[in-house]
Chains A and B, each alone.
Chain A
Amino acid sequence: MSSTAPSSSVSASRVVLSVYMALFFAYLFLPLILMVAAGFNSYSPPSVTQWQGFSLRWFSELAEDQRILQGIVNSVVVATGVILLSLPLGLSGALLLSRLDARSGSLLYGVLVSPVLTPGIILGISTLIFWRQVDVGGGLGLTVMAQSTFIAAYCMLMFMARLQRQDTSLEEAALDLGATHMQVFRRITLPFLRPAMLSAAVIAFLQSIENYNTTVFSIGASHTLVTEIGSRMRFGLTPVVNIIGLLFVTVTVAVAVAYVLLRQRERARTPAG
């Protein structure tokens, strides 16, 4: 802040802003704290007002809850499928767009990113209808397709951001030294894109695990962790759900920290990257 800004009005507005920020973060975090706290209350359905004593019983109930455990497995299966599908698609899109002229590029770009701006339920519905034409019904496979529709676009945007920073003369230099296009791709382009691949995989994984609005339409009779939580919101709500919430918070923070650390290592390895 420049020293030319004198006066009490500036500091007054700073106080107002600080109070506002404090309130805002209370608004963000208090509900989450309450939710986690209810997970340690032995009372069910989840509550913090009807306190019946501290308990860890919901952890053991979670460990024995077959539907939830199966849901976690299904979620991971779907997320893995999404990564395997979205990364190649996103990469193809980014590589293609980096070589198209402005006009045809803009049109294709608009089409490819449109799923990001489309409500998730519509992606689920349209995928469901499309694949029923060939008698493929709801399930894990269809969920991979539906989620990848928009997750591939996120991956593409990350690849594009990275490609924009690439020096095209590197690829030309490799070609000039006699490399085939495949060799250029493997030795120059892919290594350059590695950090973006890592980010894209992490984002794709998180987006897939978290997804509800699209999945609820495409999952059919199967279930993922999140759709199982969704159905328990109406039926059989116990603090097991709160424990899942706690685990989500823990895993999220762990992944975020791991990601930051990995990026730093990656950066240390590639000084000019």
Chain B
Amino acid sequence: MNAVYRSYGPLLGTIILLGVAVWTLAMIVGPQLFMIEQSLWRMEQPDSAVTAGMRIEELNNALSLAQYDLGALEGTTDPDKMAEREKLARSVSAMEQELTTLQGQDTAPVKVYTISNYTEMSGYHAEIFVKTIGASLMVTLIAFAVCYPVAYAAAKLAKPERAALILLGLVIPYAINELLRVFAWLMILDYQGVANSVLLWFGLPEPVRFLDSGAGVFVAMVYAYVLFMVFPIYNTIETLDTNQIEAARDLGASTWKIHSRVVLPHAKPGIAVGSIMTFMLSAGSFSVPHIMTRGTAQPWFSQLIYSKFYDSFYWNQGAAYAFTLLLVCVAFIILMMKVFKVGIRDIAK
């Protein structure tokens, strides 16, 4: 802290500290804490309100009966009936009084802290959750397999001008909006899309419903996030001294050995970063399933969260679902850091 003031002086130092404090507290830590807090309570009817509600119900019934009777006795001259009517009127006013008191009581729902927002995740939702995580892992794995050769070729094999061209070719689709990239695949995989046209032309009897199976989500997701895997791996392989590869080859290493013993170990931080980004984007993706499921295929977990917020307005459970997703992502990051033995500083680059 002193070092900050010594370097920047009192005015600038204070501005810097304030800026970081606002960012940390009001934009990162605060919102997360409030989200967790929101996930830990729900509004419930208090017990007293439940019994009061039953009694009100009861009184209302009795009251309408008595009022009906009272109406029947209206205008009578029979003294017996007059007395009966008197009695009835008294009990009606007593009941009316009790009703007013009861209705005056606070029956508003109260805030109750509970973990049931988490535990009440239904079997169907849990299944979607597990499928989402599983599919995201698969997307990550496939993205790695697809990207590694590309990253290696761009970093080490291509001549400089060609490598620049390859990078430009990677950057352009990367910079185009995610929704539009996914939409391009919708046009291909739609019932009347390009893929089906081609298949029909080849003699398939009828179009395939790619989208209903959820396969569409999967394919588009690999497409949408594959580039988040390429760049980190490319960046690390690029820093590898080419002499090391040639030395390994010179010593008689096979292509497989060169990669498993020289290139891959060097690319570890990049692989970790790429995997974390791809997994995080897939598991938390809202755009891809939003477009590709079109409401027919099974939803993605992020869609459940969205509907908790904007369809059923049940924010508490929505927050609980969101936090669960966050925990999985954190767990994945920790796992990657352990597996690839990299620190947080290597990751965020």
Contact = CB atoms under 8 A, between A and B. Distances in A.
A and B touch in the complex (CB under 8 A): yes
A72 interface: no
B184 A114 contact: no
Given A35-B187, A99-B3, A89 B309 contact: no
The prevalent SS among residues of B at the interface is helix
A217 B177 contact: no
B56 interface: no
B197 A49 contact: yes
Nearest to B2: A99
Nearest to B276: A117
Interface in A72-118: 88-89, 91-93, 95-96, 99-101, 106, 108-118
Contact of B329 (A50, A108, A119, A252): A119
Contacts of B16: 92, 95-96
Contacts of A245: 176-177, 180, 183-184
Contacts of A27: 223
Given A25-B169, A117-B276, A210-B178, A126 B197 contact: no
B146 A24 contact: yes
Interface stretch (B65-73, B123-131, B287-295): B287-295
B180 A244 contact: yes
Interface in A218-236: 226, 229-230, 233-234
A111 B246 CA distance: 41
Nearest to B255: A13
A248 interface: yes
A253 interface: yes
Interface stretch (A59-67, A149-157, A193-201, A262-270): A149-157
A133 to B, nearest CB: 6
Contact of B23 (A89, A226, A233): A89
Contacts of A5: 249
A111 B344 CA distance: 10
A185 interface: yes
A47 to B, nearest CB: 7
A229 B35 contact: no
A115 B186 CA distance: 30
A252 B277 CA distance: 22
B92 interface: no
Which secondary structure dominates chain A's binding surface?
helix
B302 interface: yes
B118 interface: no
A247 B35 CA distance: 37
Interface stretch (B4-12, B93-101, B108-116): B4-12
Interface of A: 1-2, 4-5, 13-14, 17, 20-21, 24-25, 27-29, 31-32, 34-35, 38, 46-50, 88-89, 91-93, 95-96, 99-101, 106, 108-123, 125-130, 133, 145, 148-149, 152-153, 157, 171, 180-182, 185, 206, 209-210, 212-213, 216-217, 226, 229-230, 233-234, 241, 244-245, 248-249, 252-253, 255-256
Given A49-B194, A130-B34, A210-B178, 14 more contacts: A4-B246, A13-B255, A32-B176, A92-B15, A92-B17, A113-B347, A118-B280, A118-B284, A119-B325, A210-B177, A213-B285, A213-B302, A245-B184, A249-B176
30 contacts: A17-B157, A25-B169, A31-B181, A31-B185, A31-B187, A31-B188, A35-B184, A48-B187, A49-B194, A89-B27, A92-B15, A95-B8, A99-B3, A112-B20, A113-B344, A113-B347, A119-B283, A119-B325, A122-B284, A126-B32, A126-B35, A171-B7, A180-B9, A206-B175, A213-B284, A226-B177, A226-B179, A245-B183, A252-B172, A252-B175
Give 3 nearest A-B pairs by CB, closest first: A119-B284, A181-B9, A92-B19
